[in-house]
Structure 1
Amino acid sequence: MDSSLPLSGREILVTREEKAAKGIADVIKQYGGIPHIVPLISFRPYEDEKESTYLEKLKSYDWIFFTSKNGVHFFFQKLKEHNLSIVGSPTKFAAVGEKTCRAMKSHGIQVDFVPKLYSGFDFAKEFVHSFPQAGRVLLSKGNLAKDTISSYFTERSMPIDEWITYETFFPDAIEKRLSSLLQEKKLSAVTFTSPSTVRGFMKIVNDNGLHEAMNGLAVVCIGPVTREAACRYGLTVQVVPERYTVEDMIDDLANYFISLKENREE
């Protein structure tokens, strides 16, 4: 182990969904840290009561929005189930974040708009400024996603439909593992990438009376929405990157621990 790396020897809890958690774990390892993957959320298809309507109207939308790679994955899964395709259609596409863009491109979709800042509010504000006459919009989202974008559009009398293509659920058999990790008090930090991961974490903490076990644990949130959720549970958040990416989140965590070490040495 290279002791010169900023996260050398530090054990970091990764609460993200299992398939996506590997990316965070790899970055943590690059900084010398020891990742512990305990997926507090998972995803599955959702049967929206208006699904048939959205499918029938699919080619009438001028824009389709995606705010996560899950929104992309489950959207195209739905289309595949119904033998539908939008590749080559005149519809334009907008995405929040680099990973969402990559997911879209893997399905042969050209991204026509990406905001400078990766939050729902910034996305809506930048998009409306750029395309005030956007036409009909469809948003693929999860069941727990906020209505920030749709509210922004509705307030300006701009038509938008929200299609819930997937839902978030809490996996079984992870409570014991997380409880053990917290009780051992070896963790240096916990990373949250969504409000759902915060809720799942705090449910286990509250149900098992593990509040003391969190003493000295740095709390890391990928963006302001997740930080807001953490604060509602009374957590003190030490790290939130300016750019809402996994790489920036872990980089800022590394800098946080470097600052702690330097302050102790003064």
Structure 2
Amino acid sequence: MTANGPLSGKNILVTRGGKDGEKLAAQIEALGGTPFVVPMVAFRAYADPSAPVFLRKLPAYDWVVFTSKNGVRYFLEACSRAGIACEHLNINWAAVGKKTAACMEQSGLKVSFAPGKFTAKDFAREFMRSGHRAGRVLLPKGNLAGTEIADFLRKSGIIAEEWIIYETYMPEGAKEKLARLLGRETIDFALFLSPSAFRHFKGALEENGIDIAGLSTRIAVIGPSTRQAVEKAGSRAAVCPDEYTVGAMLGALCDFVRLEEK
């Protein structure tokens, strides 16, 4: 921990688990903060009965569009189980977000298109303006992901099919762990990387008889959809950077703390 870092003296809740949560906690410590990791979301493969159909039709798609690293991971796992080597398919691969694109490249999928901005709406608009040809598009996605890209493509005359490849759920014991943490620590900031993480957090509070409006904890988020979920619940995101990355969120959080302490 950096004793005199910009987040020195701040208790910060990390709601992402796994290696991503560990990495975020380490970054917070390097900035002087004290992280508390209580994952509000976890992911697992979704048993879609239509999976064999999507896999069989895979060579017929002009584009496959990924909106998250989890989409890439579970798609590739499904293809591997079916004996399909994706890197050898004559398909164009597209990504929403830098992390998604990096995950694809690391997995051997060459990204042919990625929007300048990181939202689904931006992707759809930029893709249509780019002049890329697409007759049939596949979107492997999570069970809670929106339909903006598919809807926009369909309105443009493109066949867009959505494959639910993974699902998001609340980790076992998370509600109890959160209640114990809030009972013994004052949390200055809670970080949310997705709308589902915030909704699970709010639900856990309610089940433990805690009113989110009564918490002194400020909220930091990534992306407009997460901010909208917070606002819909009657709360406010104190930190929401223009760039939808963890690095940008931490930078904005440090700036917020500096201004507050002036």
TM-score (norm 2): 0.95
Task: For 2:23 and 2:135, locate their aligned partners in 1 and report how far apart those are by CA, in whole Å.
Answer: 36
Task: For 1:201 and 1:231, locate their aligned partners in 2 and report how far apart those are by CA, in whole Å.
Answer: 14
**1:22 corresponds to:** 22
> Does 35-44 or 102-111 show the bigger shift?
102-111
- Where 2:99 maps in the other structure, the secondary structure is helix
Give yes or no for contact 1:18–1:37 (8 Å, CA) kept in 2: no
**1:40 corresponds to:** 40
| Amino acid in the other structure paired with 2:160 | I
Deviation at 1:4, TM superposition (A): 2.9
**2:139 corresponds to:** 139
TM-score (norm 1): 0.94
> Does 165-174 or 10-19 show the bigger shift?
10-19
Task: For 2:93 and 2:42, locate their aligned partners in 1 and report how far apart those are by CA, in whole Å.
Answer: 26
- Where 2:140 maps in the other structure, the secondary structure is strand
1:190-209 aligned within 5 A? 190-209=190-209
Change (3 A) 1:221 1:71: same
Q: How many residue pairs are counted as aligned between the two chains?
A: 262
Give yes or no for contact 1:124–1:149 (8 Å, CA) kept in 2: yes
Deviation at 1:215, TM superposition (A): 2.8
**1:91 corresponds to:** 91
Deviation at 1:17, TM superposition (A): 3.2
Change (3 A) 1:182 1:213: farther
| Amino acid in the other structure paired with 1:27 | Q
| Amino acid in the other structure paired with 2:25 | A
1:182-197 aligned within 5 A? 182-197=182-197
- Where 1:115 maps in the other structure, the secondary structure is coil
Change (3 A) 1:48 1:212: closer
Task: For 1:212 and 1:63, locate their aligned partners in 2 and report how far apart those are by CA, in whole Å.
Answer: 42
Task: For 2:213 and 2:91, locate their aligned partners in 1 and report how far apart those are by CA, in whole Å.
Answer: 51
Deviation at 1:204, TM superposition (A): 1.0
Give yes or no for contact 1:182–1:214 (8 Å, CA) kept in 2: no
Task: For 1:143 and 1:174, locate their aligned partners in 2 and report how far apart those are by CA, in whole Å.
Answer: 20
Give yes or no for contact 1:15–1:21 (8 Å, CA) kept in 2: yes
Deviation at 1:177, TM superposition (A): 1.4
Give yes or no for contact 1:27–1:247 (8 Å, CA) kept in 2: no
Task: For 1:198 and 1:60, locate their aligned partners in 2 and report how far apart those are by CA, in whole Å.
Answer: 38
Give yes or no for contact 2:213–2:235 (8 Å, CA) kept in 1: no
More strand, by proportion: 2
- Where 1:205 maps in the other structure, the secondary structure is helix
Identity of aligned residues (%): 37
**1:153 corresponds to:** 153
Task: For 1:211 and 1:113, locate their aligned partners in 2 and report how far apart those are by CA, in whole Å.
Answer: 44
Deviation at 1:206, TM superposition (A): 0.9
**1:81 corresponds to:** 81
Q: Which runs of 4+ in 1 moved over 4 A?
A: none
Deviation at 1:218, TM superposition (A): 1.1
Task: For 1:119 and 1:65, locate their aligned partners in 2 and report how far apart those are by CA, in whole Å.
Answer: 13
Deviation at 1:96, TM superposition (A): 1.2
Q: Deviations over 1:132-171 (max 9, x none)?
A: 5322111110011011111111222211111111011111
| Amino acid in the other structure paired with 1:103 | C
Q: Deviations over 1:183-205 (max 9, x none)?
A: 23421100011111011100111
Task: For 2:57 and 2:49, locate their aligned partners in 1 and report how far apart those are by CA, in whole Å.
Answer: 14
| Amino acid in the other structure paired with 1:196 | S
5+ residue gaps, structure 2, are none
1:162-181 aligned within 5 A? 162-181=162-181
Task: For 2:54 and 2:214, locate their aligned partners in 1 and report how far apart those are by CA, in whole Å.
Answer: 45
Task: For 1:214 and 1:142, locate their aligned partners in 2 and report how far apart those are by CA, in whole Å.
Answer: 32
1:32-71 aligned within 5 A? 32-71=32-71
Give yes or no for contact 1:68–1:97 (8 Å, CA) kept in 2: yes
> Does 205-214 or 92-101 show the bigger shift?
205-214
Deviation at 1:34, TM superposition (A): 1.1
- Where 1:43 maps in the other structure, the secondary structure is strand
